[in-house]
Amino acid sequence: MFPGAAGVHSAPRAEAVTGTARPGTPALRVTKVADLIGPGITTRFGMEAADLGIPVRTPDGRLLFVFGDTFREARVGGGWWRSPVALYGRARLLSNRVRWTGAVGGEQAQQLWAYGHDNAVFSTALPSDVITVGDTVYLHVMVNKGLGNVVWTEIWSSDDSGATWTHSGARFPSDLHGGLFQLFTWGLGDDGYVYVCSTGFQRDKPLVLHRVPSGRITDLNFYEPWGELDGTWAWGNPPTPILAGKFGELCLRPLDGKWILTWFNAGDYRIDGIIVDTPAKLSSGRRETLIWGGDWGSEDDAHVAQLYGGYIIPGSTLDDLHLSVSQWNTERGWPYRAMQFRVRGLRS
């Protein structure tokens, strides 16, 4: 997958409205804050085209954004192909755009670990989600041989806030749980568990849920599924889809005493969200549309052409949610970028 870069850095426009209509509740207020990737924005890092931008707060307090397939020029295939790469940033006031402070690897953003693309075994390694547990940052990646063809998935870790990465030893087969254990998102609960929602990387599959003790995140034997057996839902039952649909990129996070899941809804061409008390209640949560898909030439803040992603930026609240949203013009190869959006009114 070549996700991407952006063109000219544009000023925020007047906010638009979206959301699922519910009697007596206000519509969501959506604003595009800024492009995060593009010429003049990330040129100094040798990356004018990149997508995803999955954010995490590092143990030393910085923001770290992990990107997928990345190129030097502002177009897909525009030289110096890397994935994953990462940038450090800050956002003191989330009503303002994220500002980049540096790249992992030096002045130019380096691939987080060495491998050659389009080798005999796989073509690229794409980040799925990133999480900080104690003093360690964990990164789940999907190793692909062509877009959507996952060979295996694995976990890398960093004990220096993302500066260097080591393979954790965790490698998961691509056909595990019927292919629903490929694309991850995970969030750390206050009960000692990391909760993991997963699906396939084909944007045509439902969602399953696991939990794992936070100290055992790299050991598949400790992943406990949530499922239904003989009419009863419980941990340890065979994994059962908790949400139907066609799921793309996912982001599960604890937030303001609740849990929120945001995702690219490939079936309905939009980014949706659900707020629940616990991940096990996702199947009964209320879905909201946060940002709609749109047509090129007819975009506004709430309608984005060829959108995907939708990762929650640390520092967000349910009242003031900030998302890293990707866009890729697959016909022209540009825009191919990550962008920052602001969604207000979700708690209502």
Torsion sign (Cα): 198, 271, 311, 43: positive
> Tell me: the pLDDT tens digits for 176-221?
999 999 999 999 999 999 999 999 999 999 999 999 999 999 999 9
| Contact call for residues 275 and 293 (beta carbons, < 8 A) | no
pLDDT of residue 38: 98
Q: Is residue 235 part of a domain?
A: no
Instruction: Give the domain extent around 323.
Output: 19-170+245-344
Q: Is residue 10 part of a domain?
A: no
Closest CA to 53 of 119, 113, 97: 97
Cα(83)–Cα(124) distance, integer angstroms = 7
CATH of the domain at 72: 2.115.10
Q: Which residue has the tokens 């965790």?
A: 170
Does residue 25 have a pLDDT over 50?
no
pLDDT of residue 328: 98
CB hemisphere CA count around 254 (13 angstroms):
14
Greater confidence, 139 or 91? Answer: 139
Q: Is residue 39 part of a domain?
A: yes
pLDDT of residue 15: 54
Q: Is residue 98 part of a domain?
A: yes
> Tell me: the pLDDT tens digits for 198-207?
999 999 999 9
pLDDT of residue 91: 87
Cα(126)–Cα(133) distance, integer angstroms = 21
Q: Is residue 307 part of a domain?
A: yes
Cα(66)–Cα(74) distance, integer angstroms = 18
Domain count, the chain: 1
Q: First-to-last CA distance in the chain?
A: 36
**How much is the average pLDDT of 51-71?**
98
pLDDT of residue 286: 87
> Tell me: the pLDDT tens digits for 119-171?
999 999 999 999 999 999 999 999 999 989 999 999 999 999 999 999 999 99
pLDDT of residue 16: 64
Tokens of 151: 């060979």
Does residue 109 have a pLDDT over 60?
yes
**Percent of the chain predicted with pLDDT > 90:** 89
CB hemisphere CA count around 299 (13 angstroms):
14
Q: Is residue 144 part of a domain?
A: yes
Are β-strands 270-276 and 136-144 bridged in parallel, bridged antiparallel, or unpaired? unpaired
Whether the link from the prior residue into 84 is cis, omega within 30° of 0, is yes
DSSP letter, residue 178: G
**How much is the average pLDDT of 54-70?**
98
Cα(309)–Cα(51) distance, integer angstroms = 9
> Tell me: the pLDDT tens digits for 264-317?
999 999 999 999 999 999 999 989 999 999 999 999 999 999 999 999 999 999
| Contact call for residues 71 and 80 (beta carbons, < 8 A) | yes
Sheet holding 336-344, edge to edge: 16-18, 28-35, 336-344, 320-328, 307-312
| Contact call for residues 74 and 55 (beta carbons, < 8 A) | no
> Tell me: the pLDDT tens digits for 238-267?
999 999 999 999 999 999 999 999 999 999
pLDDT of residue 347: 80
Q: Is residue 13 part of a domain?
A: no
0.75 exceeded by the pTM?
yes
> Tell me: the pLDDT tens digits for 338-348?
999 999 999 86
Tokens of 233: 């839902």
Does residue 116 have a pLDDT over 70?
yes
Contacts 24+ apart (CB under 8 A), 234-243: 235/211, 239/177, 239/180, 239/208, 239/209, 239/210, 240/208, 241/180, 241/206, 241/207, 241/208, 242/197, 242/206, 242/207, 242/208, 242/209, 242/280, 242/282, 242/283, 243/206, 243/207, 243/282, 243/283
Cα(255)–Cα(277) distance, integer angstroms = 10
Closest CA to 4 of 341, 296, 339, 269: 339
pLDDT of residue 23: 37
Q: Is residue 249 part of a domain?
A: yes
Report helix, strand or coil for 303: strand
| Contact call for residues 4 and 338 (beta carbons, < 8 A) | yes
**Percent of the chain predicted with pLDDT > 70:** 91
pLDDT of residue 348: 61
DSSP letter, residue 9: P
